[in-house]
Amino acid sequence: MERAVKDGVDVMNLSLGNTVNGPDYPTSIAVNRAIELGVAVVIANGNNGPNNWTVGSPATASKALSVGATSAPASIPFLYEPVTNKEIPLLPMIGSLPWGLEKYYPIVNAEDGKDMSGKIALLQRGKIPFYEKAKQAEMAGAIAVLIYNNQEGLFQGMVENENDPLTVPVAAITKKSGQWLIEQMKHGTKGVETIYKETPAAIADFSSRGPVTVNWDIKPDVLAPGTSILSTVPAGYKELQGTSMAAPHVAGAIALLKEAKPDWTVDQLFGALKTTAAHMETEEGESLDPIVQGAGEIRPAEAINTNTIIYNSLLAFGKADGGTTNKEKKLVIENMTNQPKTYSFDIPMKEKGISWNLPLSFTVQGGEKRKVPIKLTISTTQLEEGLHQGWLKLTEDEKTYQLPYLFVNKSADNPKAMGFEFTWKSFSKDMYMYRIYMAEPAKRVKIDLYDPDTLLFNRTILEMEELETGINEGQISKSEVGKSGQYKALITVYLEDGSITTHETQLQIDEES
């Protein structure tokens, strides 16, 4: 990033990330600084959807244009178990043959070492690379391979190998679906069918969702196509999936805007894309949540020709801690024409615990920027705790602008501790370094290690007191760490309000640096 800024680039596309959902991780801070220096930074939102809170740094950067992925209309395969009338969604892996099974096939849990010939092999995600798992099943005669997750949600895997490509389709399914199939096999289920459904354009399941912890920003900012994208690979082209495919569409759109409007600032470029984005709805006509789509799917031609730019259009009001809380955001509207324009808000339907104070009608003169106050009163005792989000509608002549809003009432179900790292201290043979990101302060954090196969408790490796929001780090001696190896780590967080949360992660303790 530093080299790109020094080289004077106009647009920077980043396709990287981690599991830290916080606005102040070092990479997020660096992104914000690059934008302050005049570079338009576009970032892939991540492929850890469809659960909330899955966006990671640096897509969490408050000033970046973070991009989620849409899927094109397609014929989507589902596993179908006819006895229980159960449908299971599949996510074909990158580099796999298309899932084209058209009849009933027997299914087998490959972990049991049973005959796979002519059958669909079911495997669990683990330490072995996806390609190697699938190749072993293919060599054993499997007709197709399913790999189920070892944590919640779907995942986007890769089985690409140019030297020895697979000749059977490989797809990912959720942990819940994999465990369900195993349970059904124990009770007599022998196989599954594949059915196909025609689906309209929608948000891709793998696309990471927001919001961001700590400041509760809405992410992604916008959407762009991210499935079945013909992309460059060494010596040719290939169809790829991911928000890493969606973000370059937006970086390209920014370049087009910059060429058409060379005097526009980064704020104007970003504002134009968000102002003119296509609002996405379900087949039933319901708006997708703000944390799923942000402002919507980009429309570069409309952005170039827009007569209005709305800044700060993703209205994140933060957290309401108790009683009656008043919030205010300043919406900035720029009239790009020479003539005055009149705008008006549709007053939202009354909702218990929420009261809006919006200007019914206001005029912005030609070439003028105007700040418009958006006021919200939250009665915390009349609302359920957690995430609240929706849409405000602003109209100008025949044009309608959908503005997403979000706030948290008292507390939310967001992860409290993230991004636990454990490595050797540089230039040391007897000290380890650890780092953990906290979404809020905690009295204590304890990290226990378990055997990954038997799940038997092994030992407590670390206890930390009085942790602050953000990165907490320290060091620990080799003698305190104990035996090296692969473990399942249970992170227990004791919060200041007396509540306790836990989450699991894999931890590799290396024997030497």
In whole angstroms, what separates CA 166 from the centre of its chain?
29
Average pLDDT over residues 304-313: 96
- Predicted TM-score of the model (pTM): 0.79
Q: Do domains 308-411 and 417-509 have the same CATH topology?
A: yes
What are the residue boundaries of the structural domains of the chain, listed by start? 1-70+202-306, 74-199, 308-411, 417-509
Average pLDDT over residues 230-235: 86
The tokens for 375 are 């006021």
Residues in the chain, total: 513
Q: What is the CATH number of domain 308-411?
A: 2.60.40.2310
For residue 23, what pLDDT band results from cuts at 50, 70 and 90? very high
**One-letter amino acid identity for 466?**
E
**Is pLDDT at 92 greater than 80 in this prediction?**
yes
Average pLDDT over residues 297-303: 97
DSSP letter for 67, please.
E
Average pLDDT over residues 248-270: 97
Average pLDDT over residues 198-222: 94
Contacts of 495 (CB under 8 A, 6+ apart): 416, 440, 441, 442, 443, 501
Average pLDDT over residues 309-324: 95
Q: What is the CATH number of domain 1-70+202-306?
A: 3.40.50.200
Contact between 107 and 190 (Cβ < 8 Å) = yes
**Is pLDDT at 341 greater than 70 in this prediction?**
yes
Q: What is the mean pLDDT of the chain?
A: 93
| Rounded-to-integer distance, Cα 67 and Cα 239, Å | 19
| Rounded-to-integer distance, Cα 32 and Cα 404, Å | 22
Nearest CA to 156 out of 17, 282, 292 is that of 17
Average pLDDT over residues 227-240: 86
For residue 512, what pLDDT band results from cuts at 50, 70 and 90? low
Average pLDDT over residues 26-45: 97
Q: What is the CATH number of domain 74-199?
A: 3.50.30.30
Sheet hosting strand 315-320, strand order edge to edge: 315-320, 399-409, 386-396, 341-346, 361-364
For residue 363, what pLDDT band results from cuts at 50, 70 and 90? very high
| Rounded-to-integer distance, Cα 379 and Cα 13, Å | 41
Tens-place pLDDT, residues 110-126: 888 789 999 999 999 99
Contacts of 304 (CB under 8 A, 6+ apart): 256, 257, 260, 261, 272
CATH of 417-509, one of 2.70.98.10, 2.60.40.4070, 3.40.630.30, 3.40.640.10: 2.60.40.4070
Nearest CA to 338 out of 303, 310, 307, 311 is that of 307
